[in-house]
Every structure is written in C-alpha cells, then in structure tokens.
C-alpha cells in the first residue's frame, strides 16, 4: 500500500476479495485515513492518482462506500480493468523504486508462508519439478501445511492439493 503524499489527492482502493474477485473503487483524498483503515482490513492496495493514465482509470470507478463493512464497501470490477489498475500501480512503483510500500515492509518482517491466504494468487510447483511452476489461486487451507488450489488460467472445476513447500508467493501489486 503506497502512502499518498498529498492529503487532498484522490486514491484508488483495489484488491481481490475472499473469492478472488477483483474489486476497485475511488476514494476522495479527504477520506484518506478511513481508506487506509479499509485497505489494511481487506488486505487491499491504495494507489494515489498522480498520472494522466491513473486519472483516466479513476474516472471509470465508482466511489467506495466507507460506511459499509467488508468487501461490499468496494465495488466489483472486470478482470481486464483490474489488470489495468495493477499495471498503472506497477508503473508508478517502477518510476519511484525508493518508495517502499507498507505491505512490502510488513512482508519483509514475517515468514512468507504464514501470509498465504484464501483467494491469494501463488505459484504452485507441479508434482514433477521438471514441469515447472504455474499460477494458482488458493481456495482453502486444509491443515498440516496443505492447500486446496485451482489454476488461474484453466478450468475452475479442476482443483488440486499442494504442500506449503510447493508454493511461492508473488509480489503484491
């Protein structure tokens, strides 16, 4: 979560909900503190609107309802649109690499496997290591370090189990 420098600067609140559905909404700069609280509670990201590309994306977003609780406060968006928001966020991070995000700071201070959550995108190693690693979404934690997953880009009906050691976390957007 990037810390906005200007309190009047509007923000985009975005992330995946507990069912891995993309959500994103616009937060007025005046509601910055409430947005930080919501983002931390939902494990979402905040993107300060500072470029022309980000302003175009923000114009298509509905306002976040800060009076509601949970994921319903943030409107659902199309996956393609969500990918554009993530790309805009990555472009901003690449242009200012010295600005470390709050989430990255927290991530660096904990054991990575403790951060695997339902709905999170991870890399999953195949049973045969020669087959490589593939993007998967965590559906459930089964206990004993095992997780129920599904491939991100293939049939949602196909589910499989992997041990914690066969998973790798992706850098948050």
Residue pair 44/13 in contact by the 8 Å Cβ criterion: yes
Residue pair 135/153 in contact by the 8 Å Cβ criterion: yes
* Residue 102: pLDDT over 70: no
Q: What is the pLDDT of residue 94?
A: 60
Q: What is the pLDDT of residue 173?
A: 54
Q: What is the pLDDT of residue 128?
A: 80
Q: What is the pLDDT of residue 8?
A: 52
Q: Would you give the DSSP letter of residue 2? A: P
| Residue 26, beta-bridge partner list | 12, 63
- For the stretch 6-10, contacts whose Cβ atoms lie closer than 8 Å and that sit 24 or more positions apart, written own/partner, are 6/48, 7/32, 9/48, 9/49, 9/50, 10/48, 10/49, 10/58
Strands across the sheet with 121-125, in order?
159-163, 146-151, 133-143, 121-125, 167-169
Reported pTM: 0.51
pLDDT band at 25 (very low <50, low <70, confident <90, very high): very high
Q: What angle do CA 38, 54, 47 make, to 5 degrees?
A: 25
Q: How far apart are CA 46 and CA 121, in angstroms?
A: 18
Average of per-residue pLDDT values in the chain: 79
Handedness of CA 144, 102, 152, 17 (dihedral sign): positive
Summarised one tens digit per residue, pLDDT across range 61-82 is 999 988 888 888 899 999 999 9
The pLDDT > 70 percentage for the chain reads 81
Q: Would you give the DSSP letter of residue 164? A: G
pLDDT band at 5 (very low <50, low <70, confident <90, very high): very low
Summarised one tens digit per residue, pLDDT across range 137-166 is 898 888 888 899 998 888 777 889 998 888
Residue pair 45/1 in contact by the 8 Å Cβ criterion: yes
Q: What is the pLDDT of residue 42?
A: 86
* Residue 36: pLDDT over 90: no
Strands across the sheet with 22-27, in order?
22-27, 11-16, 45-48
Rg (CA), the chain: 17
The mean per-residue pLDDT over the stretch 113-134 comes to: 83
- Which token pair is 31? 């509601």
Domains of the chain: 11-106 (no CATH), 112-169 (2.30.30.140)
């Amino acid at each position: 979560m990037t810390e906005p420098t200007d309190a009047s600067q509007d923000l985009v609140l975005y992330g995946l909900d507990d069912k891995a559905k993309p959500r994103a909404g616009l937060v007025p700069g005046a509601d910055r503190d409430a947005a930080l609280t919501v983002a931390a509670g939902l494990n979402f990201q905040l993107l300060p609107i500072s470029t022309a590309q980000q302003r175009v994306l923000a114009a298509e977003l509905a306002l976040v309802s800060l009076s509601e609780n949970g994921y319903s406060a943030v409107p659902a968006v199309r996956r393609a649109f969500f990918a554009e928001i993530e790309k805009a966020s990555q472009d901003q991070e690449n242009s200012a690499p010295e600005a470390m995000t709050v989430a990255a700071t927290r991530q660096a201070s904990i054991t990575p496997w403790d951060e695997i959550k339902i709905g999170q995108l991870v890399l999953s190693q195949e049973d045969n290591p020669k087959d490589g690693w593939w993007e998967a979404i965590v559906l459930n934690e089964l206990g004993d370090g095992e997780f129920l997953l599904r491939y991100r880009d293939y049939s949602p009906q196909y589910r499989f189990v992997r041990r914690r050691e066969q998973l790798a976390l992706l850098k948050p957007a």
